[in-house]
Structure formats: C-alpha cells, structure tokens
Amino acid sequence: MDHSQLVANIRHKRSVLCVGLDTDISKIPRHLLNVEDPVFAFNKAIIDATKDYTVAYKINTAFYEAQGIPGWVSLSKTLDYIPKDIFTIADAKRGDIGNTAEQYARTFFYTYPFDSVTVAPYMGSDSVQPFLQFTGKWAIVLGLTSNAGSADFQLQDCGDELLYEKVLRTVAEWGNAHNLMFVIGATRQEELRHVRSLLPDHFFLVPGVGTQGGDVDTVCANAMNKDAGILINVSRGIIYAGAGEDFTALAGKAAKQYQQQMSAYL
C-alpha cells in the first residue's frame, strides 16, 4: 500500500487506529480452544468486529513464532483474511545486514506479503536499506520507544543531540516519507511534539495508548501532520476488551470508541 492509498483510507474512515493482533493463546476466550486453529479463529472474529474502524493491523510475530509451524500457519491465514484496503504491519523488529536483511525483507514482503515491517537500526544503513527497495512497501524504524529501558540508550547524549535524535535524523536520509515510518512512543507528550518538528512529513507508528498510559488526544494534538501522519496502535485495550462469548462485541465497541476520538482531529 502506497502513501496516497494509506492517507485516502485514513480520511475515508476518519481514523488512524491500528489494531495490534498480539494474540496470546493463553488469553483468548476459553470456548475458542476447542476449534482447529484457536488463534486464527480469535483473529478472524476480532477483524470482523473492528475492520470498519481501523486503517491498519499490526501482527506481532513473536506470538506466532512461539507456536512453531502452527503459529506461522495462523499468521498466514490471518494476513490473508485482513481486507486488502487495510494497511498491514509485521511487527518483527528485524535488524541484520547484507544478505540476511534481504532475506528478512523477502520474508515479510513476498512470502508473507505485509505492507510494512518494523526494523531495528542499531547496525546502521545496511540493516535498513534492503527494506527500502520494494515499491509500495515500508520500513518502520524504531525511533523513540515507550518502554522504561529506552532511557538506557535512546536518551543518552550523542554530541550535541540525544541518540534517538541522531537515529531519526540519519535514518530519514536513507529513504523518504513514502517508504519510511518511525516508531514513536505515545507516553512522551513533549517528545511527540519535538519529534514531529524534526520529521514534519513522515508517518509515525505510535504504541503505548491505553494499557501503557498514552492517550489519543495527546498523540493527535502533538503528532499529527497535514496527512494525519500517525497510526495509533492499540492491542490489549481492544482485543482483550472481553473474555467471554461476547468478546467480539466488546472489541468492536472499544475500536469504535477510539475511532470516534480520532475522528475529531481528521
């Protein structure tokens, strides 16, 4: 999905919601454990309940890789089921170089045809550039994250700037606003505004809303640009809104509430 298609869908749905399918088999409703593929059955129901309110789905590959071959089967079936007009993210956080990076790019752009994949930039340009060679595909590079450990490196001085600022500025030169996004944590109000000033045109994938303490209004007020420019990820707050037979209705209700908040800014 290219930049114009993503922006058009955001404006059509009046939403920047990304639903995180971080599906933990130990947390899905018990009645689904009796079906052939409980993870896919859960994801399918969540997608049906939320697809009218979301513009992106993020599949955290760790939850599927942990299940071995059956997990990859569930991932593939889930990806195939997502409507083709909704942006897809492989949250895989790959970060290697050379031929290895090229194979990771092929994995998530060809074998499993996601629109985008999250990438760790620690090894430099040759760990990111292989993901930027595919038309209509995106690398979503870790920039400023919302976890407590982010201070260990990201907020350390690096000459006359912080390390995360150097990463954002440098990586932005390797691609453009049509094939690069950045992960920017939602719990940092002042940093959201600052990062937007550093990168006025790029999209941000913004985790941390809901369970981690971030909120929609703060993100939209401080990080939106003329094209919206953000995808706000919510995982547990939607997919685990309910644990019983009515889990789909509660997930849909939660997604709609987020969409309605977002619509005021679009």
Q: Which two tokens stand for residue 235?
A: 């995982």
Q: What percent of the chain has pLDDT over 90?
A: 91
d(CA 5, CA 252): 24
**Where are the alpha helices (H) located in the chain, listed in sequence order?**
3-13, 38-50, 62-65, 69-81, 98-106, 163-172, 189-198, 216-223, 236-239, 247-263
- Identify the band that residue 209 occupies on the pLDDT scale cut at 50, 70 and 90: confident
Closest CA to 232 of 1, 20, 8: 20
Average pLDDT score over residue span 112-127: 97
Q: Which two tokens stand for residue 61?
A: 């590959």
Q: What architecture is domain 3-187+195-263?
A: Alpha-Beta Barrel (3.20)
Neighbours of 232 (CB within 10 A): 28
Q: Which two tokens stand for residue 91?
A: 């949250």
Contacts of 261 (CB under 8 A, 6+ apart): 216, 217, 220
Domain residue extents for the chain: 3-187+195-263
Reply yes or no on whether the pLDDT at 187 is more than 90.
no
- Identify the band that residue 148 occupies on the pLDDT scale cut at 50, 70 and 90: confident
pLDDT tens for residues 23-69? 999 999 999 999 999 999 999 999 999 999 999 999 999 999 999 99
Cα distances (Å, whole numbers) of residue 91 to 88, 130, 136, 193, 200:
9, 17, 17, 24, 24
Provide the sign of the torsion angle of the four alpha carbons 177, 178, 180, 186, taken in this order: positive
Amino acid at 64: Y
Neighbours of 14 (CB within 10 A): 16
Reply yes or no on whether the pLDDT at 129 is more than 90.
yes
d(CA 98, CA 159): 29
CB 142 within 8 A of CB 119: yes
Q: pTM of the entire structure? A: 0.96
Reply yes or no on whether the pLDDT at 186 is more than 90.
no
Average pLDDT score over residue span 142-150: 90
The confidence score (pLDDT) of residue 216 equals 94
State CA 125 to chain mean position distance: 21
- Across the chain, what does the average pLDDT equal? 95
Residues belonging to the active site: 93
The confidence score (pLDDT) of residue 214 equals 77
The confidence score (pLDDT) of residue 146 equals 83
Closest CA to 153 of 142, 164, 143, 161: 164
